[in-house]
């Protein structure tokens, strides 16, 4: 019977959502477009009613409310926990009522927070905790922060069509997989929530015809937060997994809330102030469509969830091989997105009446410090991963002490080599083949110094030569990939955000490459290349700096009509006079502008 509960949740939400939408439009429960909102047309609210109804009925079927009463009356021992379904239903119902009040009458933030604290306190009183620390007092405080924080994180995540519902559905699906073998009832609850949210996405995905409102986002956040609290109670949790799995499962809402809060505070804004500065908005700013931005966050959520499943089924010595790359990837993403200018200059912070350089701008001059901290993590991870690749689980447990003992010496040697060779002399965001050569030299020199240090200190006893070879390959790869990612991110953002008239670049040679770089680095040009045109037929179909050679001059008319071209940029000087005349006539006949690219050095009067 319980196997059909997710199906019931899906069908119930699928049927109820259009009913709620019609009611919302009839009674004027509509979200109007505003400056700090993302939608552009009036949209129905109160979709949370359908989500709650579709999700709550299956949970009621699984709930044992007597266990909650017994716990409140003290008739059960302190170790036995009440029914998870009953506690989730009670808390979700409280969040639904609280969210519904906020949707209708817009209650004060402090009032909403008090309601969340009461619900979270009920959960901890009934015995559900994170079990992250041995101190019950501290663990209770952490649990309260977790429940309230995750609940509000999903509330903040409801900032773009389909985002909150989709991330919630993926997260609930991951939790269902985690609980599949260890807690069938918890898996049923998670699947019911995922099914209800999947049905709501039919109407909420871009372009959305209904929004969930606080009555939906608070229910989603609270329910998922409580499901995560149940994870340490299962047999699958190891000491490291008890910490890592809940955080990785909730990575997207935690990342979004942290990014928004930190950047707003650094920018002199209140963290509680609304705005279009969330992760999804920043992804759109770098050139993604709204759908692609949302789908990208779905993908990040799924990858983090799959990593959490791996960690839950691995030992504490293997788990870091997944945890550390996920953490570093999300850190790099945060660094990229935090650099985007969202707020006007006047909104940056002032201190004691004196205007200071904006904090985020100031940090751009200290990026080498960020690189040093990043390299510290990468060096340690590369050395750890070398041992994990070289030895199996049993051998690694034996050699783990050797790894820990030698790690400080390896870190010191590698940083010394990096500074000597000049890894930190490069400019952030730029990387050439010469820089790759520098990284290769630095990594090689660092490995030689590490081997020499280990030989001198430990006489190379209990060490493997293969370890240092693997470590050299990993360190080199990490250096090149991290620096290259800065360059790739910058180029990608420039290409996606170009605005202006579409143009063809005539000449796919060195001059065309230089012209393209100038356009990408100088938005004042006001043009957007669609590709190249070149007289060499052998270049047709090939790419130059990511842009395709679309054809020859003979294809010009077809290319202009197909790509809506407004002008042609000539990238070379020494053109055939007949071809130049033909090109000029062609542009005149088709109403196109024609410009020639040139670089000149002018003499300055120094007398």
Instruction: Looking at the structure, tell me whether residues 545 and 519 fall in a common domain.
Output: yes
Whether residue 440 is found in the same domain as residue 530: no
Residue 461 banded pLDDT, cuts 50, 70, 90 = confident
**Distance of alpha carbon 518 from alpha carbon 513, whole angstroms:** 9
- For the chain, count helices (H), then strands (E): 22, 10
- Whether residue 466 is found in the same domain as residue 509: no
Q: Does residue 248 have a pLDDT over 90?
A: yes
pLDDT at 113 over 60: yes
For the chain, what percent of residues have pLDDT higher than 70?
Answer: 90
What CA–CA distance (Å, rounded) separates 214 from 157? Answer: 11
Residue 434, classed as helix, strand or coil, is helix
What average pLDDT does the segment 347-357 reach?
39
Do 461 and 577 belong together in one domain? no
Q: Domain of 577: which CATH number?
A: 3.40.50.720
**Residue that has been written with the tokens 């669609």 in this structure:** 530
Structure tokens at 63: 């709930």
Please give the distance of CA 12 from its chain centroid, rounded to a whole number: 32
Q: What is the model's pLDDT at position 94?
A: 95
Q: Is the pLDDT of residue 174 over 80?
A: yes
Section 355-371 average pLDDT: 53
Is the Cβ–Cβ distance between 279 and 167 less than 8 Å?
A: no
Residue 535 forms part of a structural domain = yes
Q: Give me the torsion for CA of 426, 428, 430, 436, rounded to 10°.
A: 50
Q: Is residue 489 part of a domain?
A: yes
Q: Is residue 123 part of a domain?
A: yes
Considering the domain architecture, whether residues 245 and 184 belong to the same structural domain is answered as yes
Whether 284 is covered by a domain: the verdict is: no
Which range marks the domain in which residue 62 is found?
2-256
Calculate the alpha carbon distances from 339 to 189, 263, 283, 322, 480 in Å. 40, 9, 12, 27, 21
SS3 assignment, position 135? coil
Q: Where are the beta strands (DSSP E) in 437-517?
A: 501-506
Do 510 and 443 belong together in one domain?
no
Is the pLDDT at 353 greater than 50, yes or no?
no
For residue 330, tell me if it sits in a domain.
no
Last residue of a domain, one of 241, 256, 271: 256
Note whether residue 428 is domain-resident: yes
431 and 542 part of one domain:
no
CA 31 distance to own-chain centroid? 27
Whether the CB-CB separation of 38 and 159 falls below 8 Å is answered with yes
For residue 533, being part of any structural domain is answered with yes
First to last CA, the chain: 94
What are residue 466's phi and psi, to 5 degrees?
-60, -30
Handedness of CA 117, 123, 127, 132 (dihedral sign): negative
Quote the number of domains for the chain.
3
Neighbours of 66 (CB within 10 A): 12
pLDDT at 5: 87
Model confidence at 107: pLDDT above 70: yes
Can you tell me the mean pLDDT for 229-256? 86
**Residue range 477-510, pLDDT digits in tens:** 999 988 888 777 777 777 777 888 999 999 988 8
- Identify which has the larger pLDDT, 387 or 287: 387
Lowest mean pLDDT among 179-183, 416-420, 486-490: 486-490
Q: Quick check: 350 pLDDT over 50?
A: no
Closest CA to 216 of 163, 170, 255, 257: 163
529 within 8 A of 503, measured Cβ to Cβ: yes
What integer pLDDT is reported at residue 442 of this predicted model? 93
pLDDT at 352 over 90: no
Residues 511 and 484 in one domain: no
pLDDT of residue 440: 94
Highest-scoring range by mean pLDDT, 60-74, 291-305, 522-536? 291-305
Within 8 A by CB and 6+ apart from 347, the residues are 267, 268, 269
Q: Both 519 and 487 in a single domain?
A: no
Token representation of residue 6: 């997710």
CA dist., res. 232 & res. 223, Å (int): 16
Average pLDDT of the chain is: 86
Same domain, yes or no, for 519 and 371? no
pTM: 0.81
Lowest mean pLDDT among 24-33, 132-141, 215-224, 346-355: 346-355
Sign of CA dihedral 279, 280, 284, 288: positive
Residue 358 predicted with pLDDT over 60: no
Could you tell me if residue 30 is inside a domain? yes
* Residue 259 or 355, more confident: 259
How far apart (Å, rounded) are the C-alpha atoms in residues 283 and 342? 12
Could you read off the pLDDT of 539-598 as tens digits, one per residue? 999 988 889 999 998 899 999 999 999 999 998 776 678 888 888 999 999 999 999 888
Q: What percent of the chain has pLDDT over 90?
A: 45
Last residue of a domain, one of 223, 256, 289: 256
Alpha-carbon torsion 340, 345, 346, 352, what sign?
positive
Q: Are residues 81 and 45 part of one domain?
A: yes
351, β-bridge pairs: 354
Domain boundary among 256, 286, 301: 256
How much is the average pLDDT of 413-439?
83
Model confidence pLDDT, tens digit, residues 3-42: 788 999 999 999 999 999 999 998 888 877 766 565 667 7
Q: Which of 77-86, 192-201, 366-375, 454-463 has the highest mean pLDDT?
A: 192-201
Query: Confidence class of residue 235 from pLDDT cuts 50, 70 and 90?
Result: low
Same domain, residue pair 63 and 162: yes
Phi then psi for residue 70, to 5 deg, are -65, -40
Contact 153, 222 (CB under 8 A): no
């Amino acid at each position: 019977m319980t196997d059909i509960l997710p199906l019931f949740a899906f069908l119930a939400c699928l049927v109820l959502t259009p009913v709620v939408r019609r009611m919302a439009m009839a009674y004027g429960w509509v979200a109007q477009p505003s400056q700090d909102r993302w939608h552009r047309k009036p949209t129905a609210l109160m979709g949370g009613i359908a989500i709650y109804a579709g999700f709550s009925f299956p949970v009621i079927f699984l709930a044992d409310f007597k266990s909650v009463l017994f716990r409140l009356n003290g008739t059960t021992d302190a170790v036995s926990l009440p029914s998870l379904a009953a506690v989730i239903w009670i808390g979700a119902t409280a969040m639904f009522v609280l969210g519904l009040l906020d949707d209708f009458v817009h209650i004060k933030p402090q009032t909403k927070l008090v309601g969340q604290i009461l619900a979270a306190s009920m959960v901890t009183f009934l015995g559900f905790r994170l079990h992250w620390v041995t101190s019950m007092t501290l663990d209770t405080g952490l649990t309260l922060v977790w429940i309230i924080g995750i609940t509000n994180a999903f509330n903040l995540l409801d900032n773009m069509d389909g985002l909150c519902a989709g991330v919630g559905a993926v997260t609930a699906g991951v939790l269902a997989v985690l609980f599949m073998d260890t807690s069938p009832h918890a898996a049923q609850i998670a699947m019911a929530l995922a099914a209800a949210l999947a049905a709501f996405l039919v109407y909420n995905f871009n372009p959305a015809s209904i929004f969930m409102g606080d009555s939906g986002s608070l229910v989603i956040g609270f329910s998922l937060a409580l499901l995560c609290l149940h994870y340490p109670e299962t047999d699958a949790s190891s000491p490291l997994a008890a910490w890592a799995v809940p955080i990785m499962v909730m990575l997207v809402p935690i990342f979004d809330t942290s990014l928004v809060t930190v950047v707003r505070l650094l920018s002199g804004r209140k963290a509680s102030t609304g705005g279009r500065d969330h992760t999804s908005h920043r992804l759109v700013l770098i050139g993604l469509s709204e759908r692609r931005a949302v789908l990208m966050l779905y993908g990040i959520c799924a990858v983090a969830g799959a990593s959490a499943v791996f960690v839950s089924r691995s030992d504490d010595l293997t788990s870091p091989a997944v945890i550390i790359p996920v953490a570093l990837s999300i850190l790099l993403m945060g660094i990229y997105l935090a650099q985007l200018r969202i707020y006007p200059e006047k909104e940056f912070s002032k201190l004691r009446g004196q205007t200071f350089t904006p904090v985020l701008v100031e940090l751009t001059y200290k990026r080498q410090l960020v690189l040093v901290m990043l390299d510290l993590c990468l060096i340690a991870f590369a050395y750890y991963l070398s041992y994990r690749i070289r030895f199996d689980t049993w051998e690694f447990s034996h050699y783990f002490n050797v790894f820990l003992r030698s790690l400080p010496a390896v870190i010191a040697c590698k940083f010394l080599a990096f500074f000597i060779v000049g890894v930190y002399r490069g400019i952030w965001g730029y990387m050439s083949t010469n820089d790759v050569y520098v990284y290769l030299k630095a990594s090689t020199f660092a490995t030689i110094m590490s081997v020499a240090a280990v030989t001198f200190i430990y006489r190379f006893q209990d060490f493997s030569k293969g370890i240092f070879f693997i470590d050299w390959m990993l360190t080199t790869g990490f250096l090149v990939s991290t620096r290259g990612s800065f360059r790739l991110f910058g180029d990608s953002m420039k290409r996606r955000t170009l605005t202006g008239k579409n143009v063809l670049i005539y000449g796919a040679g060195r001059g065309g490459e230089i012209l393209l770089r100038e356009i990408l680095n100088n938005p004042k040009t006001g043009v957007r290349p669609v590709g190249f045109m070149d007289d060499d037929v052998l270049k047709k179909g090939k790419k130059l700096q990511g842009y395709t050679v679309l054809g020859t001059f003979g294809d010009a008319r077809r290319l202009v009509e197909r790509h809506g071209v407004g002008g042609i940029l000539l990238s070379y000087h020494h053109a055939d006079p007949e071809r130049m005349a033909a090109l000029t006539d062609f542009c005149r006949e088709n109403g196109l502008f024609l410009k020639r690219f040139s670089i000149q050095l002018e003499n300055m009067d120094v007398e």
